[in-house]
Amino acid sequence: MEQVELVERVRAYAPHASEDLLNRAYDFSVAAHGSQTRESGDPYYMHPVEVAGILTDMKLDADTIATALLHDTVEDTLATLEQIETQFGTDIARLVDGVTKLSLIEMPQTDENRQAENFRKLVLAMSNDIRVLLVKLADRLHNMRTLGFVKSEDKRRRVALETMEIYAPLAERIGMHHMKDELEDLSFSILRPEARESVLSRLEFLREQGSDLVPRITEQLQETLDPVAIRATVVGREKRPYSIWRKMEQDDVTFEQLSDIMAFRIMVEKTEDCYRVLGAVHARYPMVPGRFKDYISTPKRNNYRSLHTTVIGPEQNRVEIQIRTQEMHQIAEYGVAAHWQYKQHTENVDGNQYRWLRELLEILENASNPQEFLEHTKLEMFSDQVFCFTPKGELIAMPRGATPVDFAYAVHTDVGDTCVGARINGRLAPLRSQLRNGDQVEILRSAEPSPSPIWENFVITGKARSAVRRFVRKQQRSQYVELGRAIMKKSLRENNRRITNETMRRALKSLGRKTLEDLYISVGSGDIDKSTVINAIYPDPTVRERAGKILSRMRPRIGSARDRKETVPIRGLMPGVAVHMAGCCHPLPGERIIGIVTAGKGVTIHTIDCETLEQFNATPERWLDVSWDASADSDQFHVGRIETVLSNTPGSLSRLTTVIANNHANISNLKITDRSSDFYEFLIDIEVKDLSHLTGIIAALRAEPAINTVERVRG
List residues with catalytic annotation. 75-76
466: nearest Cα among 456, 476, 475: 456
**Under rule CB under 5 A, residue 72 binds Mn ion:** yes
Query: How far, in Å, CA of 362 to CA of 349, rounded?
Result: 18
Alpha-carbon dihedral of residues 237, 238, 240, 241, nearest 10 degrees?
A: 180
Q: Which is nearer to Mn ion, 34 or 512 (CB)?
A: 34
Minimum CB–partner distance for residue 25 and Mn ion (Å): 14
Minimum CB–partner distance for residue 72 and Mn ion (Å): 4
C-alpha dist (Å) from residue 196 to 237, 241, 249, 250, 457: 18, 6, 13, 16, 57
- Please give, one letter per residue, the 3-state secondary structure of 601-667: CEEEEEECCCHHHHHHCCCHHHEEECEECCCCCCCCCEEEEEEEEEECCCCHHHHHHHHHHHCCCEE
210: nearest Cα among 320, 323, 318, 321: 318
**In this structure, what DSSP letter does residue 353 have?**
T
Relative to beta strand 602-607, strand 593-598 is: antiparallel
Among the listed ranges 66-74, 467-475, 483-491, 606-614, the one in contact with Mn ion (CB under 5 A) is: 66-74
160: nearest Cα among 174, 141, 175, 134: 141
Q: Which is nearer to Mn ion, 72 or 273 (CB)?
A: 72
Exposed, middle or buried, 125 (CB in 10 Å: 0-12/13-18/19+)? buried
DSSP-based helix, strand, coil % in the chain, nearest 5:
55, 15, 30
**In this structure, what DSSP letter does residue 29 have?**
H
Query: How far, in Å, CA of 606 to CA of 608, rounded?
Result: 6
Exposed, middle or buried, 681 (CB in 10 Å: 0-12/13-18/19+)? middle
Among the listed ranges 69-77, 167-175, 246-254, 319-327, the one in contact with Mn ion (CB under 5 A) is: 69-77
Q: How many CB atoms lie within 10 A of CB 180?
A: 23
Q: Are 183 and 168 in contact (CB under 8 A)?
A: yes
Q: Which is nearer to Mn ion, 47 or 239 (CB)?
A: 47
Q: Which is nearer to Mn ion, 72 or 591 (CB)?
A: 72
**Under rule CB under 5 A, residue 139 binds Mn ion:** yes
1: nearest Cα among 58, 41, 39, 55: 55
CA-CA-CA-CA torsion sign (189, 191, 192, 194): positive
Q: Please, what's the b/e burial string for 54-83 (b: 16 or more CB within 10 A of its CB; e: otherwise)?
A: bbbebbbbbbbbbbbbbbbbbebbebeeeb
Minimum CB–partner distance for residue 96 and Mn ion (Å): 11
Q: Are 272 and 232 in contact (CB under 8 A)?
A: no
**Under rule CB under 5 A, residue 333 binds Mn ion:** no
Q: Are 640 and 586 in contact (CB under 8 A)?
A: yes
Number of residues this chain uses to bind Mn ion (CB under 5 A):
2
Q: Are 335 and 325 in contact (CB under 8 A)?
A: no
Q: Which is nearer to Mn ion, 67 or 437 (CB)?
A: 67
Query: How far, in Å, CA of 91 to CA of 330, rounded?
Result: 28
Q: Are 653 and 646 in contact (CB under 8 A)?
A: yes
Beta-bridge mates of residue 707: 646
Scan residues 100-129 and list those touching Mn ion (CB under 5 A): none
Position with the least CB separation from Mn ion: 139
∠ CA 239-240-243, nearest 5°, is 95
Minimum CB–partner distance for residue 71 and Mn ion (Å): 6
Query: How far, in Å, CA of 355 to CA of 370, rounded?
Result: 24
Query: How far, in Å, CA of 564 to CA of 558, rounded?
Result: 7
Alpha-carbon dihedral of residues 118, 120, 123, 124, nearest 10 degrees?
A: -100
Looking at the chain, the number of H-run helices and the number of E-run strands are 31, 20
**Under rule CB under 5 A, residue 320 binds Mn ion:** no
Among the listed ranges 72-80, 247-255, 425-433, 437-445, the one in contact with Mn ion (CB under 5 A) is: 72-80
Among the listed ranges 68-76, 439-447, 593-601, 692-700, the one in contact with Mn ion (CB under 5 A) is: 68-76
Binding site for Mn ion (CB under 5 A): 72, 139
